[in-house]
Structure 1
């Protein structure tokens, strides 16, 4: 879903065929970074976890030379982008699944926005702080649902205590740093309870179509497990 949404926003912001400069902060195993490099863009991936870096580099090693030349990997936590890069160095900056591990997200978001050239796209994927009661509630954990209404803290599937972001708060942050919210989507509206590693169902196309529509339609997107927020640098 995130890949489809990102493609939509890139197509809306940039001329067809333009080779973009992309920064992927917290790239994980490099799924989005590799996809964008295959599309012809020059991608820099930043990742702190050494295991994830090795997975990404192994995947990159299996790509054709042209794709390998368009992608580089840097170890880091994303907080020091100003050390590695000049302001305005990128057309697109991704930060997916990272902010939930950051106690104070605003400085990180501001630093990422400074990396954008004018008109550049900032893509954030965050845990939805306005819908934390949905998962325990749908699982029948009524006490957990009651607790979740009044907090932005939660324990993720890895057993780590992390935090979520509210749409209103991130919208205000983006406006304050000169990269106002341009579009937003819900991710995992209907499928949040699916177990990790579950095989793809036979009706996958229908599932994706339903998720895609719900992710862009009110009121469904507002209760998604994740929010995909896209800001544009003024």
Structure 2
């Protein structure tokens, strides 16, 4: 999805513009650092202190020019209004966060308020319309049948979390003033890969990524992807 995000940024903003980016739920800061290396000014928000510490350690190894473009904030994504003024960012990322929040509408509304006019809101969520695929392909027929009408699932960490439907998020984004501009499927073919599986050789990896990229843009494949990448644009 890195390529998808880059494509959306390139399509929304002039070439060479240094963007103000807010990364909510940044984890160890992988995406934040990538954008800072590209020249953008990035603020990362993460409530897990250990994750913030890990991000600081990685950031300390970066050149000064990158370090000075990154601000790390230990805090909750629900509190963006406490830390930042409305309209302060050109891009807001919220990747892999909504599945841990029972009612994400308030969070999404707050993130939309952080966007300047024309700003991009990038979400990565678990796809509720594809929940039956993982157990079904693994031969867990009871789990597959239970997943068809559910938005709950147990993730690979063993946590009971929730998924989102494309139709519901489309309505939500329209309601908060950042209507859906583009969406993609993520992990269409590779969701069954085991944790810690060996990375394929470069040639095979490039072919795999090309297949995933094609599927993630194409119906009907993208509709059953494990994850959805949604991009909304502030009006």
Q: Name the TM-score, length of structure 1 as normaliser.
A: 0.99
Give the equivalent residue in structure 1 for 2:46: 47
Cα separation, 2, equivalents of 1:207 and 1:71: 32
Shift of 1:177: 0.8
Aligned to 2:153: 154
1:228 has 2:211 as partner: no
Deviations 1:81-128 (A, max 9, x none): 000000000000000000000000111011000000000000000000
Is the partner of 2:129 in helix, strand or coil? coil
The alpha-carbon deviation at position 196 of structure 1 amounts to 1.6
The runs of at least 4 consecutive aligned structure 1 residues that moved more than 2 Å come to: none
User: Which one is further off, 83-92 or 46-55?
Assistant: 46-55
Matched, 1:78 2:77: yes
1:25-40 paired onto structure 2 within 5 Å = 25-40=24-39
Structure 1 match to 2:68: 69
How many Å separate the matches in 2 of 1:198 and 1:96? 23
For 1:1-234, what aligned pairs fall within 5 Å after superposition? 2-202=1-201, 203-234=204-235
Return the offset for 1:197. Answer: 2.1
Q: Where do 5+ consecutive residues of structure 2 fail to align?
A: none
> How far does the alpha carbon of each residue in 1:16-47 deviate from its partner, in whole angstroms, 9 at most, with x for none?
00000000000011111000000000000000
Equivalent residue pairs, number: 233
Indicate the SS of the match to 1:40. Answer: coil
> Structure 2: how far apart are the matches of 1:205 and 1:51?
33
Q: Tell me the secondary structure at the aligned position of residue 124 of structure 2.
A: strand
| Structure 1 residue matching 2:22: 3-state secondary structure | strand
Note the residue ranges of structure 1 that are not aligned, 5 or more in a row. none
Structure-2 separation of matches of 1:198 and 1:39: 29
Q: Distance in 1 between matches of 2:220 and 2:232?
A: 21
Alpha-carbon distance in 1 for matches of 2:75, 2:136: 37
- For the aligned residues, what is the CA RMSD? 0.5
Structure 1 Cα separation of the partners of residues 194 and 46 of structure 2: 25
Aligned partners of 1:51, 1:190: CA distance in 2, in Å? 32
Q: Distance in 2 between matches of 1:112 and 1:198?
A: 35
Q: Give TM-score scaled by structure 2 length.
A: 0.98
Q: SS in structure 2 opposite 1:200? A: coil
Q: CA deviation at 1:165?
A: 0.2
